[in-house]
A = this chain, B = another copy of it.
Amino acid sequence: MYIERFENLSILLYKRLYKSRMSTQKVNINDIAKKAGLSITTVSRVLNGKAEQYRIGKKSQEKIKEAAKELNYIPNQFAANLRTGRSNTIALIVPSLNNPFFAGIASRINAEVRKFGYITIIGDSDENQEIEKMELHQLVSRNIEGLIIVPCGNEWEHIQQVYDQGIPLICVDRYFEELDLPFVSTDNYEGAYSATKYLIENGHTAITCIQGVRQSTPNKRRVKGFMDAMQQAGITTCNVVGDDFSVQNGYLETKLLLQQKNRPTAIFAFSNTIAMGCIKAFKEENIRIPDDISLITFDDHPYLDYLATPLTCIAQPVSDISKIAIKFLFSRLNDNNEIKTKQVLLKPKMKIKESVRRII
């Protein structure tokens, strides 16, 4: 009760205080200049911290800052940007915020970017290349100063065009092998290779991969890593199925697999979403991990530990990837060429849990 009273009081106070200012008109630099009795030039310089540089007097600075505060001035970034050409904005385009892997990247990038005084505009292409193009177009017309993108298809011209325009950009996670666009990603070959090797060491020979988007570079590298590991072990039959980084794909492919007469003894899921689909199918068919079948997956996520059987996974260094992307971008923005290598692959890390059984 007391608290409620108190809150109501504070609301009343607020209303009394601010009512006079509830004009819809936004205040601008001009209003401040008038109130302070100085020119807009001086106001601009003070508000941008260039007072020293232009030798604005102390008392003038005071007057201006006070006026700005009193009028509750909020600068119009568009006007400023129009003049300076700088937008203090970085764009991030991911295929799906619903995928915890990308949400994690988005969250980290957002935090990193803020440290530089920039803000992030996040776009979600919904794994649709046409939407990706639209978003990119939108973002460029908003004068972004840099772009971090997880391309969702195999078309690259629209991205290359942005790069050619001189906007610093970097591909993250997915990239294009043939182009010289900068990227930072996981060493997917290595990850797939070691996961496969681990399965083989545990006695598995009948292994099926459920892959994601086929043309995507990470997927291609993973397939190659898988194949190489199998061949080096002298196993000739390699099964690779599926075509999407989605729960749905994992589910359907697993359902099909389970109906074969020669079931694999292990499944290698190429993403956490695919793995989730596998588990769903297993549940329906009453198949236990790892007793009936072994499962290993790309991508780590907190919830993996809490599943019925904690999943052995190839963890990608999400945090490092984000940091490197940002570092690269801002070194470009500052024309600081200290970073020469522009194509980076980070080592993944296998986290062994309980989803792979040693057989025979």
Q: Report which A residues bind B (CB closer than 8 A).
A: 4, 7-8, 11, 14, 18, 21-22, 24, 26, 72, 74-79, 81-82, 87, 96-98, 100, 103-104, 106-107, 110-111, 114, 119-124, 126, 131, 135, 137-138, 140-143, 157, 160-161, 164-166, 178-179, 247, 276, 279-280, 283, 302-303, 305-309
- Complex CA–CA separation, A114 to B135 (angstroms): 9
Contact A11 B77 (CB under 8 A): no
A307 is contacted by which of B135, B166, B308 (Cβ under 8 Å)? B308
A-B contact pairs, 30 of them (CB 8 A): A7-B178, A8-B178, A11-B179, A14-B160, A21-B164, A22-B164, A24-B165, A76-B141, A77-B141, A77-B142, A77-B143, A78-B81, A78-B82, A78-B142, A78-B143, A96-B107, A97-B97, A97-B106, A97-B107, A97-B110, A98-B104, A100-B103, A103-B103, A106-B122, A119-B123, A122-B122, A283-B305, A283-B306, A303-B303, A307-B307
**Nearest CB to that of A97 among chain B residues?**
B107
Label chain A's interface by main secondary structure: helix
Cβ-neighbour of A126 out of B111, B160, B279 (below 8 A): B111
A75 → chain B closest CB, angstroms: 5
- Complex: how many Å from CA A295 to CA B335? 55
Q: Which residues of B contact A21 (CB under 8 A)?
A: 164
A178 to B6, CA, bound (A): 11
Assuming A103-B98, A104-B98, A107-B124, is B82 touching A79 (CB within 8 A)? yes
In Å, the complex CA distance between A120 and B125 comes to 12
A194 and B11 alpha carbons, distance in the complex (Å) = 33
Could you say which of B22, B120, B306, B309 contacts A279, with CB atoms under 8 Å apart? Answer: B306
**Judging by beta carbons under 8 Å apart, are B306 and A276 in contact?**
yes
Q: Is the CB of B103 within 8 A of A119?
A: no
Residues of B within 8 A of A121 (CB): 119, 121-122
Q: Which chain B residues border A98 with CB–CB below 8 Å?
A: 103-104, 107
Nearest chain-B residue to A100 (Cβ)?
B100
In the bound assembly, the distance between CA atoms of A24 and B162 in angstroms comes to 11
Interface centre among A74, A110, A126, A306 (most CB of B within 10 A): A306
Contacts of A104 in B (CB 8 A): 98
Q: How far is the CA of A74 from the CA of B160 in the complex (A)?
A: 15
Provide the bound-state CA to CA distance between A140 and B72, in Å.
Answer: 12
